[in-house]
Structure 1
Amino acid sequence: MSDAPGRPMKYPYTISAKIAQFPFKFYVQNQWIWRYWMIGIAVATPVFYKIHKLSNSPENVSKWAEKRKQEAAGHH
């Protein structure tokens, strides 16, 4: 079984045919936005993971639960 079709459509009219024939490699190699987008995701992922772990730690969750309880008591 081959990876690519032997004869691609001359005018791809379906979405899947358009996606299959889109020159992704060309755009990734020749446009700066794709490289910086991938670098940005790689740099931001550990930062967001650390923020997520800190905000969802048991100490922080209990602290915010206590704050919400005090705020709800003030409204009654």
Structure 2
Amino acid sequence: MNANNFDWALYSNGKYWLYEHWNETNTNIYGKAKFDSKEDFLKHAGKHLTAEQIETLEQGQSVLIPQQDGTTLFFKYVNL
């Protein structure tokens, strides 16, 4: 399992690729998408990621990408 210490408390069980768009204070989510396959994830959300960031996700770590408007893009591969 590639889960971090508290992933079980934050994410639903399963294997999926997660993409979220957080507001400026990281307290609310503007948008969220879950993808069952890596191919679908890359097709839709992958345009925001580098090859290194995708590798980071595959290693069980999340990726945060701050945006110019103050919001943040959040990506994670969940395997619970």
* Structure-2-length-normalised TM-score: 0.18
Of the two structures, which has the highest relative contact order with CA contacts closer than 8 Å and spacing of 6 or more?
2
Which has the higher Rg, Structure 1 or Structure 2? Answer: 1
Q: Which has the higher helix share?
A: 1
